Structure 1
Amino acid sequence: MSGPPLLDIRKLCIGFRGRSGRILPVLHEVDLTVCRGESLGIVGESGSGKSTLALAAMGYLRHGLVRLSGEVIYNGSDTFALSAQELSKVRGGQLGLIPQNSGQALTPTLRIGKQINEALRLHCDLPESTYAARALDLLTQVRLPDPQAILRRYPHELSGGQQQRVAIAMALAGEPDALLLDEPTTGLDVTTQAHILDLLRDLARARNMAMVYVSHDLGVIARVCDRVQVLYAGETVLTGPTRSVLSHPAHPYARGLLASIPRLGDSTLPRALEGRPPGPETARVGCAFAPRCAMATETCQTTRPLMVPGAADQMTRCHYPDQVARMRAGHAGAALTCCSADSPLTLSLDSLAICYERPGFFARLTGQPAPPATVDGITLDLRRGETLGLVGESGSGKSTILKSIAGLLAPAKGRISLGDGTALPSLAEDRRPDQLRRIQMIFQNPDDSLNPRQTVGEILAQPLRLYFGLKDHALRDRAAELLETVRLGAHYLDRRPGQLSGGEKQRVAVARAFAAGPDIVLCDEITSALDVSVQAAVLELLNDLKGLHGTAFVFVSHDLTVVRALSDRVAVLYQGRICEMGPAAAVYAQPSHPYTEALLGAVLEPDPDQVSRLLAEDAVELSPPARGCPFQRRCPVKRGTVCETDAPPAQEAGDGHVIHCHIPLDELRGLGQQAQNS
């Protein structure tokens, strides 16, 4: 990590032409350097310019953007001065890109082998006869099981983690000197994410590659990066060694980001950053962060700060770097609104089983056994004002259970009942309007669930008309009240989804769910694509609405720290079966099932000194075993044939904490303590 920079960005300004015809800046005189073998993390809220900066390193600007000034020097050449032919040799060859959504980056109609061959043809000077062997070698490097079989598959036949590994393999095809990574692990479960980050770190070390890692997840940055550069409103406000920045950040904004992150050991909600970053149209007078800064003075309002030395080898854009270190530490926010133990029942699932794969005619004719159910034996209750968290890796059945509760998937067997004992019809189309009103769902991606052609007012009007018959002024007034509840305001009524940020869209989705006055809200990964400050604000909003209306939530997330912050109880799922369930405090403080221990051991927190405890194999199971414990094939403490043949018994640990495992509870807890100590 010495010598001249491989990537050297100097005073880069990028902007676009607004409706008034004036050029509005997106990046303001940003400097960035990365040497061979070095990993740099770029962090900041949505809209801070992270992805724009990373793509500019490849000489690429999104439609409508223009370079106003500055240089991007890669390996001695200005990428913006290269011809199209010269630039094509750099992109994908010398400089690889791993995008956020590998599923969209891969061509769905081509087998994986053909896509890797295309990357080799474009970026490698190799004879075509060697492509097959080279493709196998690349898939082996990224630790994909049975690479020969993977080459024959289409992208939709792979899991999210496998797709991401294929994208990494394609980026490595040209043997690049540097990799640009734009949120490559967003949406992946904690164990898959941890294994992929370790893979990237090992590959970078083995090849002496530089990495520029764009992420809003500071735990990810702590895991893989040597240095951190913090962007705010398109300019660098802090840069320095990862350990120094995450331990003692020398800028108030970085401190605010760290305070917005939920932690495994805390039962309180994280603090959300107040206010919003300035838009590109805002005149640059003084410090851009001043309107949101607790220590801002008149000087901050009128004079733009320069980059100056801060604590522990950091450079900070702040007038008072010495005072930042004395700002009050801590990140705990409001206390969680908890439900009472005697709260009335609002939903019950009894022995729920859901099957995606049904035996065909020939299988039924020949008496072949039916494949194991995707989800099986799910029995749980939900009380008024309670939040139940569902956690587990991809494919564990979390979203499947939500869809069944919402009436989008019919269970193969079992019963879903409301609190009064009324059985709900399997499908939403068969449910009465009052039953539909009581259960609402918020989806992961608001872009897929909000009609882009409707205004926010029209979106909120639909449930208000359907369930309450509101019209005209009464309808608009109620829609405005809902927006105030989610802290947006009536002036958003006439905007369309395309005019909103990601956090604002998700708030509109929350408002639409609450427009029906539901008893139960189903949340499916609703914070996975949000930056940490917006995520903290959404969690705080859900907690407030829960206390105000007594709404019950079923909250699905890959992020176990988010589930810890918001949930009263947690159910841990593997292959559609419950492994462990109980009060969140008990499950997190004393995880007893080996799978729960594996999940918690893979959680990344913004601590560079965190010790990794990856207890589960880096493997993907496409279906549950026909018999025995669902976790048997990956369990590090498996006990002989009993785990393969018999369903694990339920062991009571007190206060509703239940563990499904053959190993006696006392021994399980001893094994868990040994794992933590090691």
Structure 2
Amino acid sequence: MANPPLIDIRGLCVGFRGRSGAMLPVLHGIDLQVCRGESIGIVGESGSGKSTLALAAMGYLKHGLQKISGEVIYDGADMFARSPSELAKIRGGQLGLIPQNSGQALTPTMRIGRQLDEALRLHCSLPEGAHSDRAIDLLTQVRLPDPAAILRRYPHELSGGQQQRVAIAMALAGEPDALLLDEPTTGLDVTTQAHILDLLRELARARNMAMVYVSHDLGVIARVCDRVQVLYAGETVLEGPVRAVLKSPDHPYARGLLASIPRLGDRSLPRALDGRPPAPGADRTGCVFAPRCALATDHCQTLHPPIITGEAGQATRCFYPEQTSEIDMTGSGAPLSCCAENSPLALSLNGVAIRYDRPGALARFMPARSRPPATVDDITLSLTLGETLGLVGESGSGKSTILKTIAGLLPPAEGTLTLGDGTALTPRVEQRRPDQLRRIQMVFQNPDESLNPRQSVANILGQPLRLYFGLKGRELRARAAELLETVRLGAHYLDRRPGQLSGGEKQRVAIARAFAATPEIVLCDEITSALDVSVQAAVLELLNDLKARHQSTFVFVSHDLTVVRALSDRVAVLYQGRLCEIGPAAAVYGAPSHPYTKVLLNAVLEPDPDHVPHLLTEDATELSPPACGCPFKHRCPVKIGRLCDTDTPPWQEATDGHAIRCHIPLQDLSKPDPV
């Protein structure tokens, strides 16, 4: 590298002390150098040490972890040798962090405006009167609608994606020299993610800013990074230019990760890597990846491979990098289980409207037209047994709101919910009978908000097993261990607490808890967003298997349109709480008709540095739906005039249950992409 690195990590080993008193490493001799203006991506499965490495670059380790050896040099000095006052000046200012969980960055009892003002006072030299304008400018940069209104809100009044954008704005407030990004776009929809990534690329160039980008999403890495470093079980197994690593990686593990990614044009399950990484402290004789490697020989089992640098600039820890190209990178997972024809009804929603506003006594007597539009309105859907319905749309489109209403956490203002046997589903969860509670389970987007940090994994999984099936003692623990195996964790996780798990591991525990009740309907709210691509592929296989064996019905909410494509029988597209397109997955993805659906699909990232998403040149999201007309009218590239401003679009039936809500005739919508 021509310039001296701003971040220079040398031989870093980090570990924790086990029950026997021995030190168990989680990072093994990591080297990482990042220069100003350079972006490097850190990839690997959950538990590989990616987040630990990123936090160590700030001179910070989670509770229980210790630095065993090595140095973390930032701007010429070791971060672990600096005083607390020096670190306080650097963190949040010169060195910014965007955490994976926005809940860790936002204070729930403070309004957004006050939190941004605090960041600006601590890390900027702006005059006090300029803070408000700067805060609005930051929220505008991250594409939050109506920034002035956002500043007055509390974090719980924002969607998960909106919270994440606020966290990104706070990290950028100090105009850092280096930015550490730990899965910062996992909660963002595809259009916002693409715009945010472009913003980060522009800022990195304009400010000559160094970026360390931790992500499971190889499409994100392809879009923003210059180099990639692949970690496996706490050590570097591959490092090189992003183009070489993603086009033709020299390590079997990297090829396995690429094969685990679902593709937009292919409705099939991706192929998960066999096995799982070793636990900390496990025997590391030979190549650490050998038990899962298709190329492994006896030589690999006994000797630790050195780093070998190839012609394309890839440095790989493998004895046979030249044979890696023989490994197929295309997905070939289990056959997809399809919903049987004429399956009985599982659940129906009829004319459901949902409001967050709580009108006072006088407002109840006001005419309906004077009230703000409902957050979600006129939702009519029918779900059959064994069906998977994908709900897609940008942050704030009402996807999670609909799930909460089905779960009984948010009663509808209008409309009804009915189970397949004709029984009316009680609106509030506390009023539902135990059999209704068991039949409908929900997996939340953020496992930190659904897992009790004071309970062990065994206790968390044991609650539904005791409540619904009366299990106890050894039988309960054995069943809990089986559930962990289904989500690719082992029985050794039973005695751990959530704080001792990675983000992906916590999400897998939350999934296992939902499945413990053997539900008929599973509500999945971004359940794969925190998972690495290999575990994601395994979870998709698990959902597919449950669907085949138990005729389980899934309502699957995700910003990842490739995951929805791989798993769903039907797809419903939401914008501002209104349905705009619904139909079989093959029809919606193969021939999208609504202009908004085309905008979403055009923004999807691929794990290919040559892929460029097609975004609207002038695009701004909105905070609330309009009072009349088409909800997409302000952003639509093919708006046809006053009709779109004043009249609600009609439903137009295509074929095989494919319907579009738009004023433009179907024959015109099917013409070449207008965006």
Give the structure-2-normalised TM-score.
0.92
The C-alpha deviation readout for 1:347-370, integer Å capped at 9, x for no partner, is 222222222224322333454623
Cα distance change of structure 1 residues 514 and 190 upon mapping to structure 2, 3 Å threshold: same
Q: What SS is found at the alignment partner of 1:273? A: coil
Structure 1 match to 2:552: 551
What's the % identity of the aligned pairs?
77
Q: Which aligned pairs between 1:346-365 and structure 2 lie closer than 5 A?
A: 346-365=346-365
The one-letter code sitting in structure 2 at the alignment partner of 1:381 is S
Aligned partner of 2:76 in structure 1 is: 76
On the 8 A contact 2:256/2:329 being kept in 1, the answer is: no
1:284-363 alignment, distance < 5 Å: 284-310=284-310, 312-363=312-363
User: CA, structure 1 residues 11+393, in 2 after alignment: closer, same or farther (shift >3 Å)?
Assistant: same
Rate the CA distance shift 1:252–1:244 in 2: closer, same or farther, 3 A. Answer: same
Kindly provide the amino acid, as one letter, of the partner of residue 321 in structure 1.
P
Identify the residue that residue 534 of structure 2 maps to in structure 1.
Answer: 533
Which region of structure 1 is more displaced relative to structure 2, 626-635 or 470-479? 470-479
Does structure 1 retain, via aligned residues, the 8 Å contact 2:164–2:188?
A: no
Partner of 2:434: 433
Q: Which moved more, 1:415-424 or 1:283-292?
A: 415-424
Offset, 1:625 = 1.6
Superposed CA RMSD in Å reads 2.9
Which runs of structure 2 are paired with 1:130-145 in the superposition (5 Å)? none
Partner of 1:634: 635
Q: Distance in 2 between matches of 1:402 and 1:133?
A: 36
Q: Distance in 2 between matches of 1:205 and 1:649?
A: 46
Please state how far the C-alpha of 1:317 moved relative to its aligned partner. Answer: 0.5
Give the CA deviation at 1:203: 0.9
Please list every run of 5 or more consecutive structure 2 residues that lacks an aligned counterpart in the other structure: none
Distance across 2 between alignment mates of 1:363 and 1:54: 51
* Residues 449-488 of structure 1 aligned to structure 2 (within 5 Å): 449-451=450-452, 459-460=460-461, 462-464=463-465, 466-468=467-469
Alignment-derived partner of residue 208 in structure 1:
208
**1-structure distance, mates of 2:317, 2:63:** 30
1:367–1:178 CA distance, 2 compared to 1 (3 A) = same
What residue ranges of structure 1 are gaps of 5+ in the alignment? none
Displacement of 1:597 after TM fit?
Answer: 0.9
Counterpart in 2 of 1:570?
571
Q: Relative to structure 2, which stretch is displaced further, 243-252 or 104-113?
A: 104-113
Quote the Cα distance in structure 2 between the aligned partners of 1:151 and 1:348. 38
The yes-or-no answer on 1:602 pairing with 2:583 is: no
Which segment drifts farther, 515-524 or 209-218?
515-524
3-state DSSP of counterpart to 1:228: strand
Q: CA deviation at 1:429?
A: 3.6
Code of the aligned partner of 2:334: A
Q: What letter matches 2:230 in structure 1? A: V
Query: Between Structure 1 and Structure 2, how many residues are aligned?
Result: 674
Aligned residue in 2 for 1:54: 54
* Alpha carbons 2:59, 2:80 under 8 Å: kept: yes
* Alpha-carbon distance in structure 2 between the residues aligned to 1:82 and 1:649: 64
Deviation (angstroms), 1:469: 5.4
Counterparts of 1:648-659 in structure 2, within 5 Å, are 648-659=649-660
Q: Residue in 1 aligned with 2:670? A: 669
Deviations 1:326-385 (A, max 9, x none): 222312312210012222222222222222224322333454623222222211211121
Secondary structure of the structure 2 residue equivalent to 1:579: strand
Quote the Cα distance in structure 1 between the aligned partners of 2:238 and 2:545.
33
Aligned-partner Cα distance in 2 for 1:40–1:345:
49
1:533 CA displacement: 1.4
Aligned positions of 1:405-420 closer than 5 A: 405-420=406-421
Distance 1:381 1:243, change over 3 A: same
Q: Distance in 2 between matches of 1:177 and 1:642?
A: 49
Spell out, residue by residue over 1:548-576, the C-alpha distance to the aligned partner (whole angstroms, 9 max, x if none). Answer: 11111111111111111111111111111
Task: Give 1:370-449 correspondences, 5 Å limit.
Answer: 370-449=371-450
SS of residue paired to 1:28? strand
Q: Is the 8 A contact 1:195 1:618 kept in 2?
A: no
Provide the rounded CA distance (Å) in 1 between the counterparts of 2:186 and 2:118.
Answer: 26
Offset from partner CA, 1:116-145 (integer Å, 9 cap, x none): 444444334566566566556655665666
Q: CA deviation at 1:239?
A: 0.8
Stretch moving more, 169-178 or 14-23: 169-178
Moved more, 174-183 or 281-290: 174-183
Q: Which residue of 1 aligns with 2:263?
A: 263
Between the aligned partners of 1:497 and 1:155, the Cα distance in structure 2 is 22
Tell me whether 495-504 or 300-309 shows the greater mean CA deviation: 495-504
363-372 or 175-184, which moves further after superposition? 363-372
CA distance in 2, matches of 1:22, 1:420: 58
Q: Deviations over 1:203-244 (max 9, x none)?
A: 111112111111111111111111111111111111111111
Q: Which residue of 2 aligns with 1:236?
A: 236
1:414 Cα deviation after fit: 1.9
- Name the amino acid aligned to 1:318: C
Q: Distance in 2 between matches of 1:522 and 1:148?
A: 33
User: Is residue 2:33 matched to residue 1:6?
Assistant: no
Contact preservation (8 Å) 1:579, 1:661: yes
3-state secondary structure, aligned to 1:670: coil
Distance 1:43 1:620, change over 3 A: same
